[in-house]
Amino acid sequence: MNTARQPIGVFDSGIGGLTVVKALAEELPGESIVYFGDTARVPYGTKSKTTIVKFSLENVEFLLRHGVKCIVIACNTASSWALPTLRKYFKVPIVGVIRPGALAAVRQTRSRRVGVIGTNATINSQAYETAIHRIDPRIKVFSQSCPLFVPLVEEGWLHGAISREIAEKYLAPLKKQRIDTLILGCTHYPLLAETIRQVLGPGVALVDSAQQTAAEVRGLLTGIEALAHERLHPRYRFFVTDEPTQFNRIGSQFLGRVLGPVERVNGQTH
């Protein structure tokens, strides 16, 4: 089989990874994509490392059955905890979202004061701090977990008093630290960007790792000579473990266009 024609596999705990799919579609318009959202078991951010690794292994196995040529972990939590294990077990190239996000933040910051928001698991892993300090050890990193942001986005509550109030509470410690750059360390968070900007003000740059991740995938596929020609007609397939209707409704906001059919797979057998 011609590797260039094989799809890119993307997985996330739920809907948020569609922000990465959107960036991939813009950066690599000829690529077909198979997306797997583990919506029955979302969120991953409150679960143990062992559970996150187990779920991630199952997700990769599912995508490999669809003949993918590389895999993007669109979930920050899974990228934080499962990436080394996945690379050990599978030959397929695997890209996470942590390193690209860290790289974008290092390029962006002027004051060398960077904030990171994410799920409990991502923040506890200190994956962003580690990645940033590998690039520039002089940068001060301030982290804050925001566990209620994911359910807010999954419910479609992106604006209004409730999301604003929760954002105010979570972001207050980071405002005190006078950060000039904030990493949105969860793929759901870009949909709350407007609310986050209102709270932090125009002086803080927001970093969404999706675009940097897409650029990394381009480099990877070019290196292994597996880049799809732009004249190919790409196909997008979406699989979830629960509630395809809800996924389809909110997912179109993430992707910026209609998703089309969303297929449900059994969480026990995927």
Just list the catalytic residues.
Answer: 75, 186
**Strands 94-95 vs 70-73: parallel, antiparallel or unpaired:** parallel
Q: Round to whole Å and give the CA distance between 224 and 163.
A: 43
Nearest to 187 by CA among 74, 95, 98, 105: 74
Tokens of 131: 């990645």
